[in-house]
A = this chain, B = another copy of it.
Amino acid sequence: MYPQVLKTLIATDCIIVGIEEGTLKLLVIKRPIPPLKDRWSLIGTFLGIEETAHQAAHRVLYSATGLNNIYLDQLHTYTRPDRDPGGRVISIAHFALIRIADYHNNSSKQVGSKWFALNDLPKLIFDHDNMVNDALAKLRERAKFNPIAFELLSEYFTLKQLQNFYEELYQQKFDTANFRKKVLSYSFLVKTNKKVKDTSKKGSFLYRYDRKIYEELRSKEFKIRFI
């Protein structure tokens, strides 16, 4: 029905972030197809005929990690005509937050993928380095006001782990006493009676995030800030 103008392939690339042993990490893959076969790349796919970008991203995430129910959010669409030497391809970048423990527990993950610490990333192909930088900038913006830390922490976590996530993300130390006062001042962090004793003799309580309480608060509260 439309006249012939530019028609291009659509790719979806995923910036997959998780935290392990207090370090933020990115999941990348050895690119399985030319051009630049076997170079480090974000995990991506081409959009299918009857698919949304969101579905395509979930599809590739499942094939790469064996996980469903991953936090996934569209980030930005990259359109530079020369961004891919293999031809004109537009890429819709998404970012995904993963609980790395779940990833490791899952056997059906793709071979050739690897977690790298953010401060030890290899050079990635195309404009993927840009995508990672943009994603991290957005993550930093978003984590100030949105409860996304809980998407990559385990379901049960200590306040120290939560604090550590922010310290990693912003490369900045926060006062522990004040941090816990701040996050506990909202009611959506629910204390359990379980303790973990791997980092201290006293042991620290596990908390969980209650999404419903958060959303109710959010609906009436104009200003919620995590740090």
Chain A residues at the B interface, C-beta cutoff of 8 Å: 1-2, 5-10, 33-35, 46-54, 74, 76-77, 79-81, 86-90, 92
Chain A contact surface mostly: loop
Inter-chain contacts of A89 with B (CB < 8 A) = 2
Inter-chain contacts of A86 with B (CB < 8 A) = 1-2
Q: Across the interface, do A49 and B2 meet the contact criterion of CB distance under 8 Å?
A: no
Q: How far is the CA of A188 from the CA of B218 in the complex (A)?
A: 30
Q: How far is the CA of A88 from the CA of B6 in the complex (A)?
A: 13
Q: A1-B87, A2-B89, A9-B7 are in contact. Are A76 and B74 (CB under 8 A)?
A: yes
Q: How far is the CA of A74 from the CA of B47 in the complex (A)?
A: 20
Inter-chain contacts of A35 with B (CB < 8 A) = 1
Please name the residue on chain B nearest to A48 by beta carbon: B6
Q: A2-B9, A8-B10, A9-B5 are in contact. Are A77 and B50 (CB under 8 A)?
A: no
Q: Across the interface, do A77 and B80 meet the contact criterion of CB distance under 8 Å?
A: no
Inter-chain contacts of A34 with B (CB < 8 A) = 1
Q: Across the interface, do B10 and A90 meet the contact criterion of CB distance under 8 Å?
A: yes
Q: Across the interface, do B5 and A7 meet the contact criterion of CB distance under 8 Å?
A: no
Question: For A10, A50, A54, A87, which residue has the most chain B Cβ atoms within 10 angstroms?
Answer: A10
Q: How far is the CA of A9 from the CA of B87 in the complex (A)?
A: 15
